[in-house]
Amino acid sequence: MVKVNDNYLKLPGSYLFSTVGRKQREYQAAHPEAKVIRLSIGDVTQPLAPAILDALHKAVDEMGKAETFRGYAPDLGYEFLRNVIADQDYKAKGCDISADEIFVSDGAKSDSANIQEIFSLDNKIAVGDPVYPVYVDSNAMAGRTGSYDKNTETWSNVIYMPCTAANHFAPEIPKETPDLIYLCFPNNPTGATVNKAQLQEWVDYANKVGAVIIYDAAYEAYISEPDVPHSIYECEGARTCAIELRSFSKNAGFTGVRLGFTVVPKDLKAEGVALHGLWARRHGTKYNGAPYIIQRAGEAVYSPEGREQLKKQVAYYMNNAKYIYDGLKEAGYTVSGGVNAPYIWLETPNGMTSWEFFDYLLEHANVVGTPGSGFGPSGEHYFRLTAFGSYENTVEAVDRIKAMKI
Amino acid sequence: MVKVNDNYLKLPGSYLFSTVGRKQREYQAAHPEAKVIRLSIGDVTQPLAPAILDALHKAVDEMGKAETFRGYAPDLGYEFLRNVIADQDYKAKGCDISADEIFVSDGAKSDSANIQEIFSLDNKIAVGDPVYPVYVDSNAMAGRTGSYDKNTETWSNVIYMPCTAANHFAPEIPKETPDLIYLCFPNNPTGATVNKAQLQEWVDYANKVGAVIIYDAAYEAYISEPDVPHSIYECEGARTCAIELRSFSKNAGFTGVRLGFTVVPKDLKAEGVALHGLWARRHGTKYNGAPYIIQRAGEAVYSPEGREQLKKQVAYYMNNAKYIYDGLKEAGYTVSGGVNAPYIWLETPNGMTSWEFFDYLLEHANVVGTPGSGFGPSGEHYFRLTAFGSYENTVEAVDRIKAMKI
């Protein structure tokens, strides 16, 4: 008699963004006249840049001719893409990462959910709180997080590292020693970052206690301040303790194109076993590569034209971020983020819970945001707005929020 | 101190096709003058059909305009694709499957590897022997298969169902009752099929013992005989015991495009829990959808032009299959498959092991095939050739094999 993975049954509710989407659809159905503006999910709205469109069309044409048709991709991704990533994202920035340490994938969400599979179930994870829910959820589904307490909205076997106004939303090294540490900078949802010295402390700590850091740098393109590291490999010793996740979703608008990569340095070992080999095995067995045409689009992100065009796209969203930040501040909200990240993190007014404010904002301003509590218990009484809308929608949303009585 | 998933360490060697590829590269490097022909991995060689290229170009253009740009796809896939799959692959063939039971993915390899995650580790799997190695490998990585015996090349906690000449390469219902049953028809690697009455026996058996069948129908487009089912949902009762995996790789040449889907009927329950909800949760948490442009390409597979063009592509490969089958028979080999599948399954001559024949064929005919033993212990002394090469290469490879002394 077949049995289900009962870890799934312990998961509270549905995936955060599915719930947000459902609530929005229900409201829209009940109020068909309302012009609802979504500043919730981190989904981009600007069209793909011309250099990327050109690369896609060219690759499609190649797939139409027998001489240039491409079938199964190499296990780790095409060299043309891995080489340009190694050169521009790492070597050019003084990081010692080579092309064969880069694994191309269909995105950082998949990678951040799958990476835990190469580790024993008998590891304790530490996560920033609040943080992108996939880290905890994927570990919960694997059975690594113990039992769920509905009252505190926490798992018994997870080390939560509160990120609050008191510590400028940067996690502190926990009292209990973790085995796997998830760090996300610039942070989703708070938009907070750490400087290089702070990140070096984490690297030194991980090397000292024999922990592995899963470093999610999906938002690195939004960093504007000079002392904020773009990669964990800027820190000394990171090659022996850190895996880095990167995405094309936010720097190049690939949320619907799907491309990302993960770096596993060959020096990184656990119990004497090279993690590079384990991740390669998972890639080879449970995955079949990103589409050829999409990998060519990824290559175009690094071309001179692509870089120029995408710099403008990032600037467009960061202009939105500034508009939201300034507007909310003006309206009396306590806000942070928005400087090195496309996320604005605000305290809910009048002690409302995150979901109360979600409903209030949807009803009174027809604006959809994301409840901070969905990212972890310390996110309660906070709320996330994203800068990924169009400028026009962003302005209208902020103006509505400013006009809203609180 | 972080610990690795030691199930990975139990896995023998590398993924089968990685080893085949490495051996080919090594031979080619040592013999740069040799014109090696690959009839090994099931990778297609014909360019994408015009209807698919048109759909790709059009979708790329849409991604270049703000009004038609698409970001994150719906969790289960776009409705335009799921609707046409439900209509043409199921409803038109009398199968009661609706669009919301279809989960679009990046391919059947990922799905066949990931599907086990929704089941408890405390389930015993049964697999055809030989079979596509991902079923066993993905369960081994999860820790469901016990210990590996290098001598017998079997796992202690897997029910192997031998598929040999004696049973026409069709697995028989095993003595020990399994919880999860992997069936693959038309079969990879043997090319064998079962008729509808035989498949109905499996469905009845699974319903009786409370097992779930994972039915891999990746090669259904190659079925040419009338009594061979294209879907397990042609059988009565399959909605309460079967999950079906489908691929666009072989019917539409999408090995490098990446698209597939999995059907989980809403009636399918284990321990009273609907598996549809569990798979939806996995999709929502650990995956982020197939690219919009690729889903549009998938839609074009079902257009009148697409269907017509792809029928010709399948016929092209099946003509190769016939050439290989007839040629090898003529040369005195014992062969099967090739009628409802693009795979030819042959007995190695003179009692050679599968890998001995692999080396012999590579050296004496410069042809790469796949050793049958790589698909399971009962594949020993067998060998797989694929019909996915060009016609010219196929003819040359077969002529070389015919000329080769054995």
pLDDT digits (tens, 9 = 90+) for B278-311: 999 999 999 999 999 999 999 999 999 999 999 9
The whole-chain average pLDDT of chain A stands at: 96
Select from A8, A122, A285 the Cβ nearest to the Cβ of B3: A122
Residues A348-393: tens digit of each pLDDT:
999 999 999 999 999 999 999 999 999 999 999 999 999 999 999 9
Task: Tell me whether residues A285 and B2 touch, CB distance under 8 A.
Answer: no
Question: CB of A173 within 8 A of CB of A40?
Answer: no
Question: CB of B304 within 8 A of CB of B49?
Answer: no
Chain B hits for A290, CB-CB cut-off 8 Å, are: 258
Is residue A13 pLDDT above 80, yes or no?
no
pLDDT confidence of residue B268? 98
3-state secondary structure of A300: helix
- Closest residue by Cα to residue A260 from A294, A223, A232: A294
Q: How far apart are CA B145 and CA B136, in angstroms?
A: 8
At B230, list the tokens: 């294209």
Helices (H), B178-303: 196-209, 275-286, 292-301
Chain B hits for A240, CB-CB cut-off 8 Å, are: none
| CA angle in degrees (0–180, nearest 5) for B111-B267-A2 | 65
Full DSSP string of A79-145 = HHHHHHHIIIIIGGGT----GGGEEEES-HHHHHHHGGGGB-SS--EEEEES--THHHHHHHHHT-S
pLDDT confidence of residue B41? 79
Q: How far apart are CA A126 and CA A179, in angstroms?
A: 8
Beta-bridge partner residues of A177: none
Chain B hits for A281, CB-CB cut-off 8 Å, are: 8, 11, 14-15, 141
Chain A hits for B40, CB-CB cut-off 8 Å, are: none
Chain B hits for A271, CB-CB cut-off 8 Å, are: 1-4
| Residue from A1, A2, A61, A141 whose CB has the most chain B CBs within 10 Å, to mutate | A2
Residue A403: band (very low, low, confident or very high) from pLDDT cuts 50, 70, 90:
very high
pLDDT confidence of residue B75? 82
Q: How far apart are CA B269 and CA B275, in angstroms?
A: 6
CATH code matching the domain that covers A7-47+305-403, chosen among 3.90.1150.10, 3.20.20.210, 3.40.1010.10, 3.40.50.720: 3.90.1150.10
**pTM for the model:** 0.96
Stretches where chain B sits below pLDDT 70 are: none
| CA angle in degrees (0–180, nearest 5) for B78-B84-B86 | 100
Task: Tell me whether residues A289 and B258 touch, CB distance under 8 A.
Answer: yes
Q: Quick one: CA dihedral B178, B181, B186, B188, positive or negative?
A: negative
Q: How far apart are CA A26 and CA B1, in angstroms?
A: 47
Question: CB of A140 within 8 A of CB of B27?
Answer: no
Select from B6, B60, B255 the Cβ nearest to the Cβ of A56: B60
CA atoms within 13 A on the CB side of A214: 30
Residue whose token pair is 């033993």? B373
Q: How far apart are CA A124 and CA B280, in angstroms?
A: 26
Full DSSP string of A321-341 = HHHHHHHHHHTT--EEE-SSS
Architecture in CATH of B53-304: 3-Layer(aba) Sandwich (3.40)
Q: How far apart are CA A319 and CA B84, in angstroms?
A: 41
Question: From A207, which residue of chain B is nearest by alpha-carbon distance?
Answer: B1
Distance, CA of A46 to chain centre: 18
Boundaries of every domain in chain B: 13-47+305-403, 53-304
Residue whose token pair is 């973790």? A178
For β-strands A367-368 and A37-38, DSSP reports them as parallel
At B119, list the tokens: 């089941």
Residues B200-216: tens digit of each pLDDT:
999 999 999 999 999 99
Question: CB of A289 within 8 A of CB of A82?
Answer: no
- CA B205 → CA A234, B177, B210, B227, distances in Å? 58, 10, 8, 20
Residues A254-289: tens digit of each pLDDT:
999 999 999 999 999 999 999 999 999 999 999 999
Question: CB of B333 within 8 A of CB of B374?
Answer: no
Residues B210-252: tens digit of each pLDDT:
999 999 999 999 999 999 999 999 999 999 999 999 999 999 9
| CA angle in degrees (0–180, nearest 5) for B231-B235-B237 | 120
Q: How far apart are CA A119 and CA A275, in angstroms?
A: 9
At B254, list the tokens: 């999408």
What is the amino acid identity at position A31?
A: H
Helices (H), A331-406: 354-365, 391-403
Same fold, B13-47+305-403 and B53-304: no
Quick one: A162 exposed, middle or buried, by C-beta within 10 A (0-12, 13-18, 19+)? middle
Q: What is the DSSP letter of B119?
A: B
E strand map for B50-184: 102-105, 125-129, 148-149, 154-155, 158-162, 180-184
- At residue A346, φ and ψ (nearest 5 deg) are -125, 150
Q: How far apart are CA A123 and CA A106, in angstroms?
A: 26
Residue A14 or residue A333, greater confidence? A333
Provide the phi-psi class of A135: left if phi over 0, else alpha when psi is between -120 and 50, else beta. alpha
Topology of domain A53-303, per CATH? Answer: Aspartate Aminotransferase; domain 2 (3.40.640)
Q: How far apart are CA A307 and CA A290, in angstroms?
A: 21
Question: CB of B125 within 8 A of CB of B179?
Answer: yes
Question: CB of A136 within 8 A of CB of A126?
Answer: no
- Closest residue by Cα to residue A299 from A18, A133, A84: A84
At A352, list the tokens: 């409302």
Chain B hits for A15, CB-CB cut-off 8 Å, are: 75, 281, 284-285
Question: From A213, which residue of chain B is nearest by alpha-carbon distance?
Answer: B2
Residues A54-82: tens digit of each pLDDT:
999 999 999 999 999 999 998 899 999 99
Q: Quick one: CA dihedral A224, A228, A232, A234, positive or negative?
A: positive
Length of chain A (residues): 406
Q: Which helix (H) or strand (E) holds A345?
A: strand A343-347
Question: From B208, which residue of chain A is nearest by alpha-carbon distance?
Answer: A1
Q: How far apart are CA B156 and CA B176, in angstroms?
A: 13
Architecture in CATH of B13-47+305-403: Alpha-Beta Complex (3.90)
Q: Cβ of A285: how many Cβ atoms within 10 Å?
A: 23
- Residues with Cβ within 8 Å of A233's Cβ and at least 6 positions away in sequence, in order, are A90, A95, A96, A97, A239, A242, A244, A263, A265
Is residue A18 pLDDT above 90, yes or no?
no
Task: Tell me whether residues A2 and B211 touch, CB distance under 8 A.
Answer: yes
Question: From B12, which residue of chain A is nearest by alpha-carbon distance?
Answer: A281
Select from B119, B121, B288 the Cβ nearest to the Cβ of A109: B288
Chain B hits for A291, CB-CB cut-off 8 Å, are: 256-258, 291, 294
At A155, list the tokens: 């798992």
